[in-house]
Each structure stands twice: as structure tokens, then as C-alpha cells.
Structure 1
Amino acid sequence: MNVDDAFNRLRSSMVGLYSDREATIIAGYLIEDLLHLPKHSMQALNSLQFDLIEDAGRRLALGEPWQYITGEADFYGLKFYVDQSVLIPRPETEELVDLAMGYIRAKQLSSILDIGTGSGIIPVAIGKKLTFLNQIYAVDISEAALALAERNAHRHSVNVSFQVCDILDENGWLQLPQIEVVISNPPYITRSEQESMHKNVLDYEPHLALFSDTSEQFYDAISRMVVEHQMPGCCVVFEINEHYAHQIVEVITKNGLQNVQVHKDMQGKDRMITAIKP
């Protein structure tokens, strides 16, 4: 088997799972990442390279996301370690980072808290860009996710304080630091939406990080925590389910947040919310 054969082997393993264009792009990524070779070549594979391609093809055919196969994903121009304890970063979350950084820069703030940090992409990406931040905190309910997030922070030389926290448990709120900006991309897919989701997401990505019991569950808890325990003027920046902006605005407003604004993503969908604790 040569590199061209390996490329075609990987592409064929994704038939029915991805479009031809997507399969071509993914196969190219895998060739370059696993073999460290140009994706089109007649160079023969050695036995180790052959085994890597065969393993990758088998896993792709079962629907496993290619980022879990390489163990890395791209986000905000950086590479992050990923595994099945964390979600694969989505492009729209880069817009959340942009929105948060714009606010931080405009107000010259110095402290942030990311709730439900997963692999740590949000605090690490922000900390890498905004080097003037002196307090970066991140929490998650999953110890496995936090261990991976710590590796990502170390990889990019960003000083982040990580902490295990179940944000739905009010008893843990007092342990959270007082900061100026709370950022969160919490689980926001409702159980009723599960049937329409792609197999590779449902079978491989952690349901704990995907699904909430109701569309407002985490926004309700986080907004109450901010109102009850954070400093006046604290800004909240949420990523949201595009279908439930109205319900989320209603809940966080009822809980006492003000200056609530819904922001659209590049696709024109309601994707983010900002609000302030008075």
C-alpha cells in the first residue's frame, strides 16, 4: 500500500457517513497527521504506517469522529488535545470567544471564569490572545475533562486555575471565585432533538456535555449563581441553542440579569447572549 492507496482507503471507509468533499478533506487530514506525509504520494507505507491506516479506516467506518482518531482538534488557530471525555470544538464557539474578548478588551477587564470548560478551549484561547488577563478560572463536573484541559493549558503556556464543580449544585457556588466575566457554552441540546443528530456525535461524544433536561436548565443555574455570588457589573456571555433564545432570555431576566442581548452567529442564527449583573 502506498500513500495514494491509503488516502483512497480512508475515503472509502466514510461512504454514507460524510459527503464526498468532507471525506476527501478528512482523509487528507488523517494522512498528514498520522503519517506525516503529503496526502498524494506513491511512497510505500511501512508496516507501522499500514497498521495506523487500517485502524483509522476501521474506526471511521464505525462512525468515530476523526478528531478522536488523531487525538487533536483545531480551535481558534490552535491545536487542542481531545478524547471521548470532551466534545469536539465547534466553529460557532469561536464566535463566542470573539464576543467575550471584544467585551474584555473594551472594558480592560482582568478576570474570567469558564463554566463547563470541557477541553479548556475557551479559557486557553482567550488567555493566549489576551495576555493581560491575570485571573483565568475554569470549572467542569468531569475530572477526566479537567485533566485534558490542564494538558491543553500547559501545551499553550496559559495559566488557568481548574476546579471540579457541578454548577447545578448550589452548594458549590460559594467555592467559585469573584470575577468580572462569566463565559459558558453549557449542554444545551434537549432530549427531543436527539433523534435528528448525527450518529458519530451520539455514539462517541459525551452525552453529559451535550444534553440538558430542559432548554433553560444551565442558564437558569448560572444566572442565579451570578446574581447571588458575583460582583456587580459582572458580564455573562453564553452560547445557546438557536431555538430557545426567547426562553433563555426570559429565565435569566427573571433571575435578575440586565442589559440582556441576543447575538446572531455568522449563519444568522441566535447563538449567543450577553447580560450584566446590576
Structure 2
Amino acid sequence: MDNTSAFAPKYRRIAEVIRQEINAGGLQPGQQLPTAQELGRRYDASLPTVRQALSVLISEGLIESRQGIGTFVKETDRLQRPGWRHYGRARADQKLLTPHLRHEIVFAGVEPVPAHVVDLFPDGTTEVVTRRRHLYDKETNRPEEIGASYIPMEIAAGTYLEMPTVVPKALFLCIEELSGKRYAKALDRLIARPATSEEVSILHLADGAPVVHVVHCASAEDGTVLEVAESIWPADRTLIVNEYPISTEA
């Protein structure tokens, strides 16, 4: 085993060896690992110690346990999330912001403003039209995103946005038509955190797996908030790409 971790607990030394083998390509994405018994013999370790080591790698998103089959190196196909460039592309092709994924609206209607985004709305705002969605890979049906949009009542109340159906084009284009205003400015908050039990269930994650939680507030040129949206992505499947001009002025 790796002598650089000689003073670490044995399960962590085993995890480090397997981690290095994965990173070096000795174990490929989708490849099945030896059984716990075989790993125990290889590293002269007890089954509880081997299972501790595997638990570490599962929590890091490097491997996954498939019930009744075995333990496998996780696929590393990360979805690119190119941020604000979605807007220009959607204006051109009049499609959804993520047309490569299958959208399912799981709720649409009036709700109280969630506590974690209430500061993004004008003072006194108590209710919004909420649209909650789950997004899936079209080929494998693997869940890739949990999302929600919170739209001011004066824009969306009593409109088709209260219907639990996928809109025919990007939601921001629908909101622009209904409000008569254009998206001009955005504020994004990105948080990395452990998945909640509900997110673990929906996204098919291991307990404690990390997620990226993005809150996106879009407003018009006059400062009117048009939409607050949030997205939750499995961290091990997400690549965030932002490209933007850099000011040359002081």
C-alpha cells in the first residue's frame, strides 16, 4: 500500500490506493471492483475495514454500489453548465435552456416565497408562482437536475405558467412576453453541500453525496425581479463553465 499515508488508519490507506488506481486509469469508469473479500486478502484487512474504505470512496463519488451486483467505478460523464450563454442560444433557437434533457414539471401553482430566496424579492412579497421540475437524461433516463422557478404574482398568476406542463420554449422567454420586460441582469449564488435525503432519493445518490446548489436571480433593466430560479446538480456529474468579458477599466 501507499507508504506516504503510513500513519493514517488502514481503511484510509486502502481508499487512497484504490483512489490512485482510479485516477491513474488502472480502474476505468464502469469497471467492477474486486469483491470485499478479495480486497481484504489483497490488503490483508478485515471485511469491516474494507467496507469502511469503500464507504469513503462512495461518499467522494468515485465508486457506486449496485445492490446484488457489486461495486463499480462511477461514470465520469459530467454535464457542462455554461451559465449565461444559455440565454443567447435560446433566443436564437426558441428552445428550452436545456433541450438535451427531458423535462418533467412536478408542481406548478401559487406558494409562499421559500425562506432561502425571500431576500431576493422586494420587501413585502409573500407569494409567488412556483414551477418545480425534474430533468432527466433522454437516453438513460438518469435524473440529472432538480430545479424550481419562482415568478412574481403580477407576472404569472392566472396564466399558463400555473399549469404543470412543459412550456414550448425557454421559461425566460415566456416571462418576457408576459411581463413586457427583458432579462438584463443576473445574480448567481453557488453552494456546494451534502445532498438532503430527498435529493438523494430523487437524484439516485449515495447518502451524503455532494451537490451543487445554484440560486439565480434575474431582473429587468429597471431592477424589477422577473424570476428567481434554483438548480441542484450532482457534483460529480457537473462541470460549470463561465466565459465572460473582463473590464479593462479601473
TM-score range, shorter chain: under 0.3
More RCO (CA 8 Å, sep 6+): 2
Question: Per residue, is there more helix in 1 or in 2?
Answer: 1
* TM-score w.r.t. length of structure 1: 0.25
Question: Per residue, is there more strand in 1 or in 2?
Answer: 2
* TM-score w.r.t. length of structure 2: 0.26
